Amino acid sequence: MDSKVEDILESLTLEEKISLLAGQDFWETVPIPAKGVPAIKTSDGPNGARGAVFNGGTRAACFPAAVCSASTFDPDLSRKIGNALAEETMTKGARVLLGPTMCNHRHPLGGRNFESFSEDPLLAGKLAAQVVAGLQEKGVGATIKHFAANEQETDRLTVDEIISERTLREIYMKPFEIVIKEANPWAVMTSYNKINGTHADSHPFLLKKVLRGEWGWKGLVMSDWGGTNSTIDSLNAGLDLEMPGPTKRRTIEAVSKAIFAGRISEATISDRARNILELIEKVKGFENPDIPPERSVDNPEHRRLIRNVAGQGMVLLKNEKNVLPLSKDHFKGKKIALLGLAKEALIHGGGSASLHAHYRISPWDGLHTAFGDDVEFRFAKGAHTYRQLAPMGEGCTDLRGTRGWTVRLFEQGDKEKPVEIRHKHPEAVFSPLLEHSSKWKDVQLSSTFVPDETGSHYLACSGIGPTVVTINNEVVFTQKYNTPDGMAFLFGGNPEKEFTYTFEKGESYDIRIRSRPAVGEDEEMGIMAGLPGFRLGFMNAKDHDQDLVSEAVDVARDCDVAIVFTGHTPVWETEGQDQMEFNLPKDGSQDKLVDAVASANSKTIVVNSTGVAVAMPWLDKVAAVIQAWFPGQEAGNAIADILIGDVNPSGRLAISWPRRIEDAPAYGNFPGVEKDDQPQVRYAEGVFVGYRHYDRLAKEKVLFPFGFGLSYTTFSIDDGQVAQEEQGSFKASVVACNTGSTAGATVVQLYVGRAEKSPKHPIKTLVAFKKVFLEPGHKRTVELCIALKDFAYFDEASGSWKVDRGKYSFSFRQSTADIGCHVTLHIDGSREVKL
């Protein structure tokens, strides 16, 4: 590899080297055909290889979200996911997958938590390492992201995160360190945010001192899309590749000027270019330079894997009086109510993790397949869950009298002479990614609307930049400022304020939407800078104000069992913005539905599909709860497997579940405040994130603890033993037993903490885990190997990792709140621990 890369590097001119340091377009690197350098293609994302198109592109397999796969606590499954993702990536002509996402769950309202594995850095790191290994052993480069501390979406392009070095190293950099050292990923993506005043893409501490220095990693560092914030600083810090292209920061003129001024060396440019060439070599780009067209390959093995991982990742949170499983024999001839989101397949969150799945199995479909014709199913929606009104389209005609809208593009500020006119635009939506010819243009959509009924109607509008809506020349909506996040607009999660307008049936109304590109600094808008985009939603008052709960209650009362499906659709849980509130959307409608149904039917089961913890004010009233997460394209089948007992639940929570948002560790410090006109957030909770925080609170403040999950059988863990074998390593063992009557699996979790509690340190820390499958009545000795580094802390005064002299409790548990069994050992001496 080195010889070929060095030969090519030596043949390149300085200008050619500079040209390699940014993409040629949205997904591909720059080729230099004359020198034998091909382009390679990248693809989103963490739970499937989407391909080049954000919406409605080539179909792809949708795998369970990372938080679902993490809840399996099974690294072997993560390895298989990596293998399958590699195969999917290659069907999209790509050589590099932009994943896995592995930032910690700092706060339950984090908009992108679902993409990441866990609140615990060990669990996240171990599982992510296996995804990376699975990808790269198949020849596809993994891109671990976002380095580092990308735990919120609010102001994500500009927010300055104030974090102590200890907190960074023990919590937020630890998953990356594990993956770097155990799987050697070929690429790392930097985050948008600042850390202690410096953008991640230009951060010498992160990129030079730690990543390439202490950790000794050699690979390619790329920016997040639109996340290159400087020319000189990012090059000197170690950012190899600016994405997407064409370049904004790394023009040949700008970089050459910096070299001439002595602010960047030619050696630095060669180093950056070398890393790009080496990535091309690793993915066999020189050997096979073609980028084949995208294909949709629906692989049966991937189907089975997705269903298996989803089933093992779902967590049974409550099962009063063993209402579950629902025996198929017992329910012959009976009625089951399927309520709420039963007909929607909540398979992924919004943003980079979204894709055009091969298919989407809803719970309605999955349960019909499972029970066949033996059961009568009744459905009622029960709650309004939409976030945005459907785009206005029906009853609209353009200037030529055909169905749709007329689009006019104007030079900015010009209202008289359009530079382009198009007709038959189907709906009142203007998507920036499909309309690149509109960059730095003002856009107007106009239509004649003829309503089919008289009365009050609801409308709602949002734009990337300033936007105005008029009806018959009357201004009915004005947005004066940019959207908070342009990418959030793209992903359909922008909040919109509804307003009403009274229309008369049969009358004609001239409706116009005028919108400008985002105004202000590019840093605030990222890759959306200069692109206009907007939407106008519409709904009649009858549908908008319909009472859906009463119908659902009537259906539930008439059935033997009521299953309420709750959760977040992709527009509610998405990249680009954090959760609006801890309760399920919309405006408490889902909570009201569950509460009302539970009052009508004592056998009410809730299946919740979110990537985060949510409030459950109705928990005491329902018989059972399943946390289904976002389980991928086999969602409905996997949920049915759990409900009917074909799969015994074995998922364990990869996150802690607080009762109230006020008890979350980052409460009051999320998503931050404005300081000197810049957003800033302090990680004031330090290392006390997740269970490290909840361990110090009263038990009643935690609804479900980290590592918790029920089964259709029961388990015990006993006879824990720990022996220190040699300096820095320990061998632990414990006996796990299936004490019930059904085959199943539990997760043995080993935690270490000081016997004498210290306010400066967590009470306990997860150091090892293992999933164990057992037949009824069977026992198994589970062995776990750990080292001092697994529970060392970072001492800022000496700049080193340490384990202090003293007694330590090694506790074997099935969750952080489980008593289990423990062993106390005295560890001699205070020492520096080498990682």
Q: Active-site positions? A: 224
CA distance 272 to 281: 15
Residue 163, phi-psi category: left (phi > 0), alpha (psi -120 to 50), beta (remainder): beta
- Quote the longest CA-to-CA distance of the chain: 87
Which is it for the CA torsion 315, 321, 325, 326, positive or negative?
Answer: negative
Place of tokens 């107007």: 444
Q: Which residues of 479-502 are buried (b: 16+ CB within 10 A; e: fewer)?
A: beebbbbbbbbbbbbbebeeeebe
Beta bridge partners of 746: 772
CA distance 684 to 586: 31
Place of tokens 């609170």: 697
> Which backbone phi and psi does 425 adopt, to 5 degrees?
-70, 120
Structure tokens at 659: 């009762």
CA distance 104 to 119: 5
Place of tokens 């329902």: 622
* CB neighbour class for 4 (10 Å; exposed up to 12, middle 13-18, buried from 19): middle
Residue 650 CA: distances (Å) to CA of 113, 565, 704: 22, 20, 15
Structure tokens at 652: 């364990």
CA-angle at 693, arms to 688 and 694, nearest 5° = 165
Residue 374, phi-psi category: left (phi > 0), alpha (psi -120 to 50), beta (remainder): alpha
Helix (H) or strand (E) holding 501: strand 498-503
Cβ–Cβ under 8 Å, residues 167 and 160: no
Q: How many CA atoms lie within 13 A of 446 on its CB side?
A: 13
Residue 67 CA: distances (Å) to CA of 63, 114, 192: 11, 5, 22
Nearest to 356 by CA among 348, 368, 365, 344: 348
> Which backbone phi and psi does 526 adopt, to 5 degrees?
60, -135
* CB neighbour class for 792 (10 Å; exposed up to 12, middle 13-18, buried from 19): buried
Asked if the peptide bond before residue 204 counts as cis, ω within 30 degrees of 0, the response is no
| DSSP one-letter string for 400-426 | TSSBSEEEEEEETT-SS--SEEEEEE-
Asked if the peptide bond before residue 451 counts as cis, ω within 30 degrees of 0, the response is no
* CB neighbour class for 207 (10 Å; exposed up to 12, middle 13-18, buried from 19): buried
Type of residue numbered 835: L
Question: Could you give the residue ranges of the DSSP H alpha helices within 92-146?
Answer: 121-136
* CB neighbour class for 20 (10 Å; exposed up to 12, middle 13-18, buried from 19): buried
Helices then strands, counting H and E runs in the chain, come out as 20, 39
Nearest to 249 by CA among 16, 161, 485, 239: 239
Cβ–Cβ under 8 Å, residues 219 and 279: yes
Nearest to 309 by CA among 628, 677, 783, 661: 628
